[in-house]
Structure 1
């Protein structure tokens, strides 16, 4: 059994995985778990990763030459790029925030997916965000019914990123998942904040603040591992398609809620359980 808070099941089919933006906050703390599962990792980023045993390609996601070098020889990818993130409750923005978010979440992602499918890479995992939704609501019923109605430019462009993924699934036969994550934290941060904020209320730039169901690093890593297995498995079983795009090319795209909401007080996590075998476990570390 591999069902403890720190248990990581070995990958049934280890892959060579490109971690796009893998030297950032999320990429840095999930990389050791993906290595433990048996995957071989390459990082594309502007700075080297901290983990050992990881290949590194220096470059930006807006540089097609760097993207193409990084994609050479990999089986799939995980997109963990984030620029100037915001919550889903505010309209505050400025020119640098607008430019950074459009460059990364729209242009950079489109370039990656275009170059990936040219190399025959048909699967990948996109790090989305719950901030694609307006955050002052009582319950997130399911991924398909909830509107992408964020007031923030970060959430807006992350939603555009999901649209780019849908486009490549529909017209280029790719198999992609978007993990709509919320509040990624290191283990130390997770334990400290869960003890200090039992009501889960956080400032978000609004007068009242909002609840945030933070995610422990191990829980988040297991979500990526489940998503990698799901999209690569689906892609390997799908028939190849003609070179020219056409409707119904056997691609797929699914968004999935990933939140540290163990009682599902605000998030319906049924799709996460069904599609990637995921539910949060790290709250058990708070017991006793």
Structure 2
């Protein structure tokens, strides 16, 4: 059994995975778990990763030459790029925030997917965000019914990123999954904040603040591992497509809520359980 908060099941089919933006906050703390599962990792980023045993390609997601070098020889990818993140409750923005978010969440992602499919890479995991939704609502019923109605430019462009993924699934036969994550934290941050904020309320720039269901690093890593297995398995079973784009090709895209909401007070996590075998576990550490 591998059902403890820190248990990581070995990958049934270890892959060579490109971690796009893998030296950032999320990429840094999930990398050790992906390595422990048996995957071989390469990082594309502007700075080297901290983990040992990881290949490194220096470059930006807006540089097609760097992207192409990084994609050479990999099986799949995980997109963990983040620039100037915001919550899903405010409209505050400025020119640098607008430019940064469109550059990575729309242009950079489109370049990656275009170059990946040219190399025959048919699957990947996109780090989305719950901030694609307006955050002051009582319950997130399911991924398909909830509108992408964020007021923030960060959430807006991350939603555009999901649209880019849908486009490549529909017209280029790719198999892509977006994890709409919320509040990624290191283990130390997770334990500290769960103890200090039992009501889960956080300031968000609005008069009242809002609840945030933060994610522990191990829980988040298990979500990525499940998503990698799901998209690579789907891609390997799908028929090959014709050379010319056409509607209805054999691609797929779906989004999945990933939140540290163990009682599902605000998030319906049924799809996460069904598609990637995921539910949060790290809250058990608070009980010990």
TM-score (ref. length: structure 1): 1.00
RMSD of the TM alignment (CA)? 0.3
By how many angstroms is 1:263 displaced? 0.1
| 1:7-18 alignment, distance < 5 Å | 7-18=7-18
Secondary structure of 1:44's aligned partner: strand
For residues 16-72 of structure 1, give each alpha carbon's deviation from its aligned partner in whole angstroms, at most 9, with x where no partner exists. 000000000000000000000000000000000000000000000000000000000
Unaligned runs of 5+ in 1: none
The offset of 1:241, in angstroms, is 0.3
> 2:56 is paired with a residue of what secondary structure?
strand
Give, in whole Å, the separation in 2 of the partners of 1:147 and 1:251.
23
Distance in structure 1 (CA, Å) of the matches to 2:144 and 2:280? 21
Q: Secondary structure at the match of 2:177?
A: strand
Number of equivalenced pairs: 288
Alpha-carbon distance, 1:103 to partner: 0.1
Deviation at 1:161, TM superposition (A): 0.1
Shift of 1:154: 0.1
Matched, 1:33 2:14: no
1:156-206 Cα offsets, whole Å, 9 max, x none, are: 000000000000000000000000000000000000000000000000000
CA apart distance, 1:87:
0.1
Q: Secondary structure at the match of 1:124?
A: strand
Q: Distance in 2 between matches of 1:171 and 1:101?
A: 24
After TM superposition, give the deviation of residue 112 of structure 1 in Å: 0.1
Distance 2:20 2:5 in 1: 26
Secondary structure at the counterpart of residue 155 of structure 2: helix
Q: CA deviation at 1:91?
A: 0.1
C-alpha displacement at 1:134, in angstroms?
A: 0.0
Deviation at 1:137, TM superposition (A): 0.0
Q: Distance in 2 between matches of 1:85 and 1:106?
A: 14
Query: Shift of the alpha carbon at 1:85?
Result: 0.1
- Alpha-carbon distance between aligned partners in 2 of 1:21 and 1:90, rounded to the nearest angstrom: 26
1:228 Cα offset (Å) = 0.0
Q: Which residues of structure 2 form unaligned runs of 5+?
A: none
- Give the CA deviation at 1:94: 0.0
SS in 2 for 1:142: coil
Aligned: 1:205 with 2:202? no
- Structure 1: distance between partners of 2:33 and 2:244: 38
Q: Partner of 1:230: helix, strand, or coil?
A: helix
User: Partners of 1:103 and 1:46 in 2: how far apart?
Assistant: 15
SS at 1:179 equivalent: strand
- Counterpart CA distance in 2 for 1:256 and 1:250 is 20
Q: Secondary structure at the match of 1:60?
A: coil
Report what 2:79 is aligned to. 79
